[in-house]
Amino acid sequence: MKTIVLKFGGTSVGSIDRIKKVTKIILNHKRKKNRVIVVSSAMSGVTNDLVKKSKLISNNFDKAEHDVLVSTGEQVACALIAGRLNHHGFSARSWMSWQIPIITDGPYSNARIDKILTKDLQKYLKSGGIPVVTGFQGINNHSRLTTLGRGGSDASAIMIAKFFKADECIVYTDVDGIYTTDPRLHKKAKKIKQIEYDEMLEMASLGSNVMQPTSVQDAKLNNIDISVKSSFISKPGTLITKSFKKKEFSNQIITGISSTKNDAKITIAGVKDKPGVAALIFEPLSKNLINVDMVVQNISLDGKETDLTFTIKSEDVKKTEKIIKGNKKISYRRLSFDKNLAKISIIGVGMITAPGITYRMFKALASKKINIMVISTSEIKISVLVSAIHVKKAIAVLHKEFKLD
């Protein structure tokens, strides 16, 4: 008998009608004599709404209460799914994270699953029941509710697959797999049959939010294959798995293109060019949980002063400006901010061995008169910062250049 984890995202359970449809998918797996564990996210829009409410109550909402609040959406969805399974005559019940329990580590809003005690749920599975587990949440060592970061139900599913030694983990969503780029941004995006963890991790971290980055990291660390499928149409999806030899597209160097929006660029011109200055600038930003992404420091022409440029999310601009202006430990000549920017990244393990990829990327963007503001690279990706108005055009030209159309 196989154990299968089925995870449903927000749009998949976004209405009563959708919940009725997903219970049919669950029952198809159950009728094949599998042990089925269901993991559900909140109905679409619910978590956003709860986050908004917390901000209306206080701009300094208690972090622990925040997690109690935003994790409630999952409880509703799970009870509705279990209720519908019962309606069809199947034994099913909802399981909140604390009832299992799912134990997490790390800060509120961004905790990670450390362990799952399987005994009670295992007993329930053996009795033939279908457990419907709330994604996105856990409890910490003080028995307080925690959440796993936005999109965190993916991580719940993967860690449940790990602790219950599942034979399969299927993530059902509103697209029928991982595409070469977000199909909502580029119509010619193509479905990828199989993608390796490292590429998926880069794509997810660089803006392809179809999978939560932490969940891909968990899958990689624990060697768990993930099938990504649509809950709307029955079609083969994408397998996220360990490194493999690419036969079908042996000449394909780039696997996917990701983009982020709402990026902002900060330039601090004329800072002292001496050891420790960058640390003095970034220390208070990190203490205030401002996520600094790309960083560039110009080579100092006179050895005395230099310019430092870095990117953050647009919503952090005001806070960052205040912190830098209030930082008495640094001096500079000018501070400038540039909002409405976007980061476009090309990703592919093939680039490790193929020369000239950077040049091709820059040339393709230049052919559409897209100005590059900041560049950053790693072994398997190249990212550029451009104006947000160019996102679609940049994706289209790069998709064509790297033969993904």
Q: In the complex, which residues of this chain contact ligand ASP (CB under 6 A)?
A: 9-10, 41-42, 47, 73, 135-136, 150-154
Residues 204-263 that bind ligand ADP (CB under 6 A): 208-210, 256
Closer residue to ligand ASP, CB minimum distance, 146 or 153: 153
Closer residue to ligand ADP, CB minimum distance, 271 or 395: 395
Site string (105-144) toward Mg ion, x via CB under 5 A: ----------------------------------------
Q: Which helix (H) or strand (E) holds 253?
A: none
108 to each of 125, 241, 338, how far by Cα in Å? 30, 30, 31
| Binding segment toward ligand ADP, per CB under 6 A, in 169-177, 267-275, 358-366, 386-394 | 169-177
Classify residue 388 by its DSSP letter: G
Which 3 state secondary structure label does DSSP give 288?
Answer: coil
Closest separation between CB of residue 256 and ligand ADP, Å? 6
Q: Contact at 8 Å (CB) between 112 and 148?
A: yes
Which 3 state secondary structure label does DSSP give 393?
Answer: helix
What angle is formed at CA 196 by the lines to CA 195 and CA 201, rounded to 5 degrees?
Answer: 100
Is residue 24 part of the contact set for ligand ADP (CB under 6 A)? no
Residues 35-64 that bind ligand ADP (CB under 6 A): 41
Residue 12 interaction partner, one of Mg ion, ligand ADP, ligand ASP, none, beta carbon < 5-8 Å per kind: ligand ADP
Residue 179 interaction partner, one of ligand ADP, Mg ion, ligand ASP, none, beta carbon < 5-8 Å per kind: ligand ADP
Residue 152 interaction partner, one of ligand ADP, Mg ion, ligand ASP, none, beta carbon < 5-8 Å per kind: ligand ASP
Q: Contact at 8 Å (CB) between 171 and 223?
A: no
303 CB burial (10 A radius; 0-12, 13-18, 19+): exposed
Report which residue type is found at 93. Answer: R
Is residue 135 part of the contact set for ligand ADP (CB under 6 A)? no
Of 47, 134, 137, 173, which one interacts with ligand ADP (CB under 6 A)?
Answer: 173
210 to each of 173, 201, 320, how far by Cα in Å? 8, 11, 29
Q: In 10 A of CB 331, how many CB atoms?
A: 12
User: CA–CA separation, 175 vs 185, rounded Å?
Assistant: 13
| Number of shown-chain residues binding ligand ADP (CB under 6 A) | 19
Is residue 11 part of the contact set for ligand ADP (CB under 6 A)? yes
User: CA–CA separation, 326 vs 284, rounded Å?
Assistant: 10
Closer residue to ligand ADP, CB minimum distance, 183 or 270: 183
Of 53, 184, 329, 334, which one interacts with ligand ADP (CB under 6 A)?
Answer: 184
Closest separation between CB of residue 36 and Mg ion, Å? 20
Compute the half-sphere exposure of residue 372: CA atoms within 13 Å on the CB side of its CA: 18
Of 129, 131, 149, 151, which one interacts with Mg ion (CB under 5 A)?
Answer: 151
Closer residue to ligand ADP, CB minimum distance, 205 or 267: 205
| Binding segment toward ligand ADP, per CB under 6 A, in 10-18, 75-83, 290-298, 378-386 | 10-18
| Binding segment toward ligand ADP, per CB under 6 A, in 135-143, 170-178, 288-296, 300-308 | 170-178
Is residue 151 part of the contact set for ligand ADP (CB under 6 A)? yes
Closest separation between CB of residue 88 and ligand ASP, Å? 25
The structure tokens listed for 390 are 């160019």
Compute the half-sphere exposure of residue 172: CA atoms within 13 Å on the CB side of its CA: 27
Which 3 state secondary structure label does DSSP give 310?
Answer: strand
Q: Contact at 8 Å (CB) between 224 and 159?
A: no
Closest separation between CB of residue 397 and ligand ASP, Å? 32
| Binding segment toward Mg ion, per CB under 5 A, in 118-126, 145-153, 305-313, 326-334 | 145-153
- Per DSSP, the residues of 109-141 read TS-EEEEE--HHHHHHHHTT-EEEEESSEEE-T
Q: Give me the residues that bind Mg ion (CB under 5 A), please.
A: 9, 151
Which residue ranges make up the site for ligand ADP (CB under 6 A)?
9-12, 41, 151, 173-175, 178-179, 181-184, 208-210, 256
